[in-house]
Amino acid sequence: MNASMSDTGLKPVASNERIVTLDVIRGFALLGIFLMNIEWFNRPLSDLDAGLPAGVSGIDYWAGWFVHVFVRGKFWTMFSLLFGMGFAVMLTRAEHAGRGFFGPYLRRTLALAVIGALHFIFIWMGDILFSYATGAALLMVVFYTRPRILFILAGTLGLLAGAFGLAEFLGHELAPWGPFLGFGIALLVLACVAAALRRWPVSGMRGAGLALYLLPFLAMTIGGAVMTVTPPQAREQAAEQAAKTPEQKKELAEQKEKKLERRKEHAQDIADETRLMSRGTYAEAVAWRAEQFVKHQGQTVGFAVIVLGMFLLGAWFIRSGVMTNPAAHLDLFRKLAWFGIPLGLGMSLISASIAVTHVRDQNDGPYQLAMGLAMLGNLPACLGYISAVVLMFHGRLRRWVAPLAPAGRMALTNYLGTSVICTLVFYGYGLGYWGLARAWQIPFVFAVFGVQVLLSRWWLARFRYGPMEWLWRSVTYLQIPRMRHLEAQAA
């Protein structure tokens, strides 16, 4: 946090400086991400919030159920933790060398945003890289902006929201007050995080990270529980009884109309995406994804705040020394594994027993409750999974997980590679195998990932970086790193 703002002399990490355990975990995370994403190369992403598809039975149901319980949500959190660890490694190296950090990391973030946007529009709409770039920008805000400035900006937006809301109440619509209030609350949260990081430089990362991740999903769980015990008819009747004046009744009718319109729009999005990805041309798919990219930016910012929490928690693992020397903290990893996996998967199983599918136009309380519990359980399960991999790598099972390291070193290349492969196999402008049965999706993942592991090992035996990692480093450090190993060049 005290690194110089100059970026003179900061260079890419050398191979012998890498934390190999992180590469192994990245490789494991890639497999989990692929197991989660494969469904959404065969099903419209517009239906992402619906859980298991209705009408599926037999082995296809159980394949989907397995991913829903043991995979869903556990691996984007893992990747987010790893991203935060990478941030902290880069910051720590810069501080120890007395070199700047802000400039290279800003370029790194902007490059990731461009890669994510291009991936979203031209390859696959399920991209998470742009959200990571947004989260990385927020990470820079809380590290480099004075809390006082953030508090002042948040207070100013809050006052404007209050003034515009009062004007609207008095019948004078000057400007919508909602966006001002939303941004004001977001800045207030960032201000509190920035203040915590300055007050407690290491433990503040852990506390703020846990709060940013857990509090939204705790609210989701509580809201789902309230909706579950309150039938939708009762909620509608209560709202109608509360509307006394003609203006209130009109507003209630408008809210119902807007809700109905949103449902129709959502159903149309699902139908359009299904048609375009299963039978449409590449140009039609690109045009659709470009429209959706703009449409989803509000959700991207909201998700980035949660991602920021995972980044901070990941940074704590490095700044506390736990992950820079994992062999010295195996007792901690044992506790995390024995505690995190049963707790996290236990919550996922309870969630699945409540609901695995959201049926629209019915009471969505049980599904929201189930998803809230699952999201809360994702974090301990993720930490437990990471700990299990660390223990395997530093124990007798090392030879079983060590082959994942090359794939992890090429995580960006392999992540984008799976999108290219899957869209060319499943989409209509490719081979057209859209809607592959769920039970066949899992062996497809293991087959493709197995090839990626072998290719990554072959590639890194000859080159220092994966193709996309090389490009990303070139932009980050404004220099072109040597690609081939010295031995290969000499030969």
* Residue 17: pLDDT over 50: no
Q: Domain span at residue 329?
A: 15-490
Reported pTM: 0.90
* Residue 254: pLDDT over 90: no
* Residue 238: pLDDT over 70: no
With a CB cutoff of 8 Å and minimum separation 6, the contacts of 56 are 64, 438
pLDDT at residue 259, rounded to an integer: 78
The domain tally of the chain equals: 1
Q: Which of 303, 353, 336 is nearest to 69 (CA)?
A: 353
- Kind and range of the H or E run holding 169: helix 147-169
Does residue 8 form part of some domain? no
Does residue 43 form part of some domain? yes
Q: Which residue has the tokens 């290491």?
A: 202
What average pLDDT does the segment 368-389 reach?
96
* Residue 16: pLDDT over 60: no
Q: Which of 87-96, 278-287, 310-319 comes out lowest in average pLDDT?
A: 87-96
- The 8-class DSSP code of residue 13 comes to P
**Spatial contact of 313 and 205, defined as CB atoms under 8 Å apart:** yes
* Residue 5: pLDDT over 50: no
What average pLDDT does the segment 475-491 reach?
76
- Kind and range of the H or E run holding 287: helix 282-295
pLDDT at residue 365, rounded to an integer: 84
Confidence of residue 100 (pLDDT cuts 50, 70, 90): confident
* Residue 307: pLDDT over 50: yes
HEC secondary structure over 54-92: CCCCHHHHHHHHHHHHHCCCHHHHHHHHHHHHHHHHHHH
What average pLDDT does the segment 372-382 reach?
96
Q: In 10 A of CB 435, how many CB atoms?
A: 12
- Kind and range of the H or E run holding 203: helix 203-229
pLDDT at residue 8, rounded to an integer: 39
Confidence of residue 486 (pLDDT cuts 50, 70, 90): low
**Spatial contact of 28 and 75, defined as CB atoms under 8 Å apart:** no
* DSSP states of 383-438: HHHHHHHHHHHTSTTHHHHTTHHHHHHTHHHHHHHHHHHHHHHHSTTTT--TT--H
Does residue 310 form part of some domain? yes
Does residue 7 form part of some domain? no
**Spatial contact of 10 and 99, defined as CB atoms under 8 Å apart:** yes
What average pLDDT does the segment 119-132 reach?
95
- Whole-number Å distance between alpha carbons of 45 and 334: 37
- The 8-class DSSP code of residue 409 comes to H
Residue bearing the bigger pLDDT, 280 or 489: 280
pLDDT digits (tens, 9 = 90+) for 334-364: 999 999 999 999 999 999 999 998 876 556 7
* DSSP states of 30-61: HHHHHHHHGGGGSS-GGGGGGBSPTT--HHHH
Does residue 305 form part of some domain? yes
How many residues comprise the chain?
491
Structure tokens given for 428: 């209509």
pLDDT at residue 91, rounded to an integer: 85
Q: Which of 217-231, 403-417, 428-442 comes out lowest in average pLDDT?
A: 217-231
- Whole-number Å distance between alpha carbons of 304 and 306: 5
End-to-end CA distance of the chain: 44
Per-chain mean pLDDT for the chain: 88
Does residue 9 form part of some domain? no
**SS3 of residue 228 by DSSP:** helix
pLDDT at residue 111, rounded to an integer: 96
What average pLDDT does the segment 205-224 reach?
94
pLDDT at residue 23, rounded to an integer: 95
What average pLDDT does the segment 150-171 reach?
84
With a CB cutoff of 8 Å and minimum separation 6, the contacts of 299 are none
What average pLDDT does the segment 25-29 reach?
97
* Residue 239: pLDDT over 70: no
**Spatial contact of 426 and 482, defined as CB atoms under 8 Å apart:** no
pLDDT at residue 249, rounded to an integer: 62
Does residue 148 form part of some domain? yes
pLDDT at residue 164, rounded to an integer: 77
Confidence of residue 488 (pLDDT cuts 50, 70, 90): low
**Spatial contact of 369 and 229, defined as CB atoms under 8 Å apart:** no
Does residue 391 form part of some domain? yes
Confidence of residue 129 (pLDDT cuts 50, 70, 90): very high
pLDDT at residue 160, rounded to an integer: 87
